[in-house]
Amino acid sequence: MWKGRFQTDTAQLLKDFSESISFDWRLYRHDIAGSIAHATALEAAGLITQPELEAIRSGLLAIRDEIDAGKFTWKPELEDVHMNIEAELTRRIGDPGAKLHTARSRNDQVALDLRLYLRDEAETICKLLAEVQKSLVALGEANIEVIIPGYTHLQRAQPVLFSHHLLAYVEMFARDAGRVNDARKRLNVMPLGSGAIAGSTLNLDRELIARLLDFPAVTQNSMDAVSDRDFAVELLSALALVGIHLSRLSEDLILWASAEFKFVTISDAYTTGSSLMPQKKNPDVCELTRGKSGRLVGNLVALLTTLKGLPMTYNRDMQEDKEPVFDSVDTVKAALQIYAAMLREIEVNPEECFAAAADWGRIGACSPPMSPIIWSCTACRSAKRTRSSEKPSRSASNAASGCTN
């Protein structure tokens, strides 16, 4: 559609180098939803007829159903998801399909599709974060009396409830959900109508399109709208932090499941063995999740680096935004799903935990309890029972308990 002034066919090497259909095909549902809303605005402006709108809508929905069923054939020579769908629509319904691109550029089209996609994925990720939180809470509740050593500098510091340790991660994931939701609020702005850079002489009702697509607002500057990927950077940043928190949890579980700690046993369903050493039980989920956190940080850095030197407005470099975005979304979703399931099947070994928490030669003195429920240890509770029944001197109670308070 853009080759009118060109005298020579595009080199096959360039076609192969520049295609994005191999990865942006996954935007198809959002592209089709945006196209139906755009066609509705074209009809409202009198640029297409009602029968043409119905032909476009039914044609696009039929294409969507075929893609859902895996029966649609993507053509790399058509470069991207937008051209593949539009070309197939035109082949099927003729002139009405060709009119669909009126008053629209691929620049504002892809900006819309990416916002729609990330809006949906942000909601899904928040739900998955909640599932991991529920699994952590359930594991803590099932082991509410278990005490473990708390650590600073990876040295035994103070005894804490096992559940208190788990709830620290519940707090982290709550902040993650807040960041994802916050990013979703800023990306939830409708850019269609911005054209390639400076809008179009054909004045469409952008507020109508926004209402149809459930956007609360429209973008205010066309140049910014087509070149803005801040929303993608923000979400990748939030997802990188999700990865960091999962990585920290992974490290705790790897240590706890080791023969040196024996605090927990991870289900066989979420571990693997060794072909040479049959006694091994490897915490692969934890290790892979810890490793994948590097991908999430790398994707964020990759997108920032892509954007940092771009002049206004759209540049083809921005095609490189999608692969790190898709990879981070997929990675976080997969990690959260498997963690929520794995945590539900972890078994705690209370005896090992209590033994470690009661090892005063290593753990040192117990500080004043901030809360009698959360900050507690067997020695302090024993001393309290002694004080209440025999009423010994404070110094004697402290000496008996090993507590300096």
Catalytic residue annotation: 153, 274
Residue in the structure block whose two tokens are 């990585």: 247
CA–CA gap between residue 327 and residue 121 (Å, rounded): 12
CB 27 within 8 A of CB 114: yes
CA distances from 317 to 113, 219, 320 (A): 17, 22, 6
Q: Give the Cα-Cα-Cα angle 127, 23, 308 (nearest 5 degrees).
A: 85
DSSP letter string, 106-161: HHHHHHHHHHHHHHHHHHHHHHHHHHHHHHHHHHHHHTTT-EEEEEETTEEEEEEE
Residue 338: how many other CB atoms lie within 10 Å: 15
Query: Residue 399 is encoded by which pair of tokens?
Result: 């000496």
Residue 181: how many other CB atoms lie within 10 Å: 14
Q: What is the chain's length?
A: 405
Map residue 393 onto helix, strand or coil: coil
Amino acid found at 47: L
CA–CA gap between residue 36 and residue 253 (Å, rounded): 48
Query: Residue 135 is encoded by which pair of tokens?
Result: 């699994």
Handedness of CA 271, 275, 280, 286 (dihedral sign): negative
Residues 6+ apart with CB under 8 A from 132: 173, 336, 339, 340, 343
Map residue 341 onto helix, strand or coil: helix
Side-chain half-sphere CA neighbours of 264 within 13 A = 29
CB 22 within 8 A of CB 76: yes
Residue in the structure block whose two tokens are 């089709």: 32
CA–CA gap between residue 405 and residue 402 (Å, rounded): 9
CA distances from 176 to 31, 91, 129, 237 (A): 28, 45, 8, 10
Amino acid found at 264: V
